[in-house]
Amino acid sequence: MNTLGRFPRRRVLRGILGGAAVTVGVPFLDCFLNANGTALADTGAPLPTRFGTWFWGLGFNPGRWEPKTPGKIAALGPELAPLEPWKQKINVYSGMKVLLDGRVNTVHFTGPVALITGTVPAGQTVEAPSMDVLVSDVIGTNSRFRSLEVSCTGDPLHSQSRRSASSINPGEVSPLALYTRVFGPGFADPNAATFTPDPHVMVKRSALSAVADDRKAFVADLGAADRARMDEYFTSLRELEKQLDISLQKPAPLEACSVPAKVDQTPTGTEIETVKTNHRLFAQLLAHALACGQTRVINIAYANANSSLRRAGAYQTHHEYSHEEPVDLKLGYQPEMTSFYADITSSFADLLTALDGIREADGTLLDRTLVVASTDTGYAKLHSLDNIPLLTAGGASGRMKTGLHVAAVGDPGTRVGLTALQAMGIPVSSWGTRSMQATKAFSEVLV
Scan residues 387-406 and list those touching another protein (CB under 8 A): none
Stretch that binds another protein, among 30-38, 245-253, 256-264, 376-384 (CB under 8 A): 376-384
360 sits near another protein (criterion: CB under 8 A) = no
221 sits near another protein (criterion: CB under 8 A) = yes
435 sits near another protein (criterion: CB under 8 A) = no
Task: Say how far apart CA 379 and CA 115 lie, in whole Å.
Answer: 16
Find the binding residues for another protein in span 311-340 (CB under 8 A). Answer: 312-317, 320, 323-324, 326-327
Q: What is the DSSP string of 10-51?
A: HHHHHHHHHSS--STTPPPPGGGB-TTSSSBGGGTPPPPPEE
Q: Least distance from C-beta 246 to another protein, angstroms?
A: 13
128 sits near another protein (criterion: CB under 8 A) = yes
296 sits near another protein (criterion: CB under 8 A) = no
35 sits near another protein (criterion: CB under 8 A) = no
Contact 326, 337 (CB under 8 A): no
The secondary element (H helix, E strand) that includes residue 272 is: helix 272-291
Whats the size of the chain, residue-wise? 447
The secondary element (H helix, E strand) that includes residue 112 is: helix 110-117
Near another protein by CB under 8 A: residue from 30, 84, 226, 273: 226
Residue span 408-427 as binding mask against another protein, x where in contact by CB under 8 A, dash where not: ------------------xx
Find the binding residues for another protein in span 39-98 (CB under 8 A). Answer: none
177 sits near another protein (criterion: CB under 8 A) = yes
198 sits near another protein (criterion: CB under 8 A) = no
Quote the distance between the C-alpha of residue 204 and its chain's center: 29
Q: Least distance from C-beta 280 to another protein, angstroms?
A: 20
Question: Strands 71-72 and 162-164: what pairing?
Answer: unpaired
Stretch that binds another protein, among 29-37, 56-64, 268-276, 280-288 (CB under 8 A): 268-276
Q: Least distance from C-beta 382 to another protein, angstroms?
A: 6
- Residues whose CB is less than 8 angstroms from the CB of residue 351 and which lie 6 or more positions away in sequence, other chains included: 54, 279, 283, 300, 371, 393
Q: Which amino acid is at 316?
A: Q
236 sits near another protein (criterion: CB under 8 A) = yes
- Buried (b) or exposed (e) across 251-263, using 16+ Cβ within 10 A? beebebbeebeeb
Task: Say how far apart CA 147 and CA 301 lie, in whole Å.
Answer: 13
Q: Least distance from C-beta 6 to another protein, angstroms?
A: 8
Q: Which amino acid is at 10?
A: R
Q: Least distance from C-beta 127 to another protein, angstroms?
A: 6
Near another protein by CB under 8 A: residue from 382, 398, 410, 447: 382
Q: Least distance from C-beta 350 to another protein, angstroms?
A: 23
154 sits near another protein (criterion: CB under 8 A) = yes
Task: Say how far apart CA 368 and CA 49 lie, in whole Å.
Answer: 5
Query: Could you give the angle at the alpha carbon of 298 between the alpha carbons of 77 and 142, nearest 5°?
Result: 145
Stretch that binds another protein, among 218-226, 281-289, 397-405, 412-420 (CB under 8 A): 218-226
Q: Which is nearer to another protein, 107 or 259 (CB)?
A: 107
